[in-house]
Structure 1
Amino acid sequence: MSEPLNVFFLCSVQHKEIRKAGESEIRVMTKSCTVDLVTKTDERVEKIIIGSLKEEFGEGTHCFIGEESVAKGEACVLTDKPTWIIDPVDGTTNFVHGFPFVAVSIGFAVNKELEFGVVYSCLEDKMYKAQKGKGAFCNDEPIQVSDVQDIKKSIIISEHGVDRSPEKVTKIFSTMQKILCIPVHGLRGSGTAATNMCLVACGAVEAFFEIGIHCWDIAAGAVIVKEAGGLLLDVNGGPFDLMSRRMVSANSDTIAQRIIKEIEIFPVVRDDALVQKK
């Protein structure tokens, strides 16, 4: 497939929808729990993106996995067919609170292999993009991961997710404590997985890890990290699995493996095993 310039344009114009909603009253609902938020903006932006892609490529020719569509009961299954994986507003909680990291994330896969990804950090006005074998870019400038190999000179980024069960929260913060005490230069979290992965790709941080993320959070970012020279692994050190909801992305295997030593793993339901209530 040729470079999807129409997708880059589509991704960037959505910031107008997000900015407009941010300046007016925001209608907020919850999905899985009181801290898993969705707004009318999420739903509207996803509808615009999917509608535009269907118009561009033809009805029925491509498949779609969208965060809000899955929340409403659509299947979350990655097949060999050309598939768009979409998070219309990554960082909805940030958006609701006015915290300035909100992104549109669009990934594309064929034969279950990710081919390209676009992440538009709306409020920063930064367009990250990558296509398999063609490098990674931010606002058309090439980007690459950090060359730091000493974990003690690194910044690591992670999130605490939306599950507030005491057992999982304990494991999450125990992992963060152990990594902080290696010691590393710092731990950070932007509140959006797509942005976190782009921070790895452009060398601002050395690694991002999380258990509990979804495929739409990281599909685009996965391509961008790899094309910037980074790597992706499972939190147990095995191969990266887009649907597993667990991932380490890093500038190098050295940094990734050191982090993996400290991660306290807890179970999550795979994206392709989720059964949503209609």
Structure 2
Amino acid sequence: MQLVRERNKQKKNVEEKLNAVDLVTETDKEVEKRLISALSEKYPDHKFIGEESTADGIKCELTSDPTWIIDPIDGTMNFVHGYPNFCISIGYVVDKIPVMGVIYCPLQDWLFTARKGCGAFHNGVPIHVSHTTELSQALINIETSVRSSDPNKMKVFFENLNTLAPIVHGIRTAGSAVITMSFVAMGGSDAYFEFAVHAWDMAAGCVLVTEAGGVVIDPAGGKFDLMSGRILCASSQDLAQELVKNLKQYYGPRDDA
């Protein structure tokens, strides 16, 4: 979207939401309003869950109705600093199951698309996860945004980092959950997990990963729950389960709590 490209070069009007690292800009709000306006005009009976709408007090409630789940800028911290890893993410959910995802990275001009049963694509070219099945050969993505009012979250993060660093091929961080899932889907990364993430960070990406041949589960090994704030995606079920065995778990608040 041209608006985001232009705003990236300008000084941002930045506000704090929950804390000093939970940020929102005027661009986040404007992009979300534009997307919801355009989609609601075409699909007046559909529902919406947006990151900034939720931050403004609209209840985050997922029903069986067709629902668009929007993150206007995933990676706002990156956007604020001019770091290029940020994107616009739109997920479409029916019967509480993500069935379509559209992810656009404005600076790289990357468009990722996926629809249930139709495959996953990067700028129109089919993509597929890697063939990695062993943790020792896996490039793992984690997120380092651990500054939190809950000291246990930080404790769990560093315990998992210390556990994984000696046994995986490498560890990377992108600063955007959706972009990270896109990397897994296109085979550039082999697995990713995160706790205390949100539905708008995951809805589009989980369709992309599964349609690219990967798996998406709960980090404890159970079924993925879009509202749980928890995700683990990997190139294979074997790799996912091997990662699960090595993780210390953290359970934060649910989006629908």
For the aligned pair, the TM-score class normalised by the smaller chain equals over 0.9
Secondary structure at the aligned position of 1:89 is classed as strand
Moved runs in structure 1, 4+ residues, more than 4 A? Answer: none
Structure 2: which 5+ residue stretches go unaligned? none
Q: Which residue of 2 aligns with 1:153?
A: 137
User: Are 1:224 and 2:213 matched, yes or no?
Assistant: no
User: Are 1:39 and 2:25 matched, yes or no?
Assistant: yes
CA contact (8 A) 2:134 2:242 kept: no
CA distance in 1, matches of 2:13, 2:230: 30
Secondary structure at the aligned position of 1:108 is classed as strand
Quick one: which amino acid aligns to residue 238 of structure 2? Answer: T
User: Are 1:181 and 2:166 matched, yes or no?
Assistant: yes
Q: Which residue of 2 aligns with 1:109?
A: 93
Q: Which residue of 2 aligns with 1:197?
A: 181
Aligned counterpart for 2:154 among listed residues 152, 169, 189: 169
CA distance in 2, matches of 1:96, 1:90: 11
Structure 1: which 5+ residue stretches go unaligned? 1-13, 274-278
Output one character per residue of 1:3-27: Cα deviation in whole Å (capped at 9) or x when no partner: xxxxxxxxxxx2x111111122200
CA distance in 2, matches of 1:84, 1:129: 15
| TM-score, structure 1 as length reference | 0.90
C-alpha displacement of 1:149? 1.6
The alignment of Structure 1 onto Structure 2 pairs a total of residues equal to: 256
| TM-score, structure 2 as length reference | 0.97
**Percent same amino acid among aligned pairs?**
45
Aligned counterpart for 1:122 among listed residues 98, 103, 106: 106
Aligned counterpart for 1:50 among listed residues 36, 39, 45: 36
CA contact (8 A) 1:161 1:213 kept: no
Aligned Cα root-mean-square deviation (Å): 1.0
CA distance in 2, matches of 1:162, 1:49: 30
CA distance in 1, matches of 2:112, 2:5: 19
User: Are 1:238 and 2:222 matched, yes or no?
Assistant: yes
Q: Which residue of 2 aligns with 1:28?
A: 14
CA distance in 1, matches of 2:251, 2:81: 30
Secondary structure at the aligned position of 2:226 is classed as coil
CA contact (8 A) 2:146 2:157 kept: no
C-alpha displacement of 1:188? 0.5
CA distance in 2, matches of 1:181, 1:261: 15
CA distance in 1, matches of 2:229, 2:147: 13
CA distance in 2, matches of 1:158, 1:177: 12
C-alpha displacement of 1:173? 1.4
User: Are 1:214 and 2:223 matched, yes or no?
Assistant: no
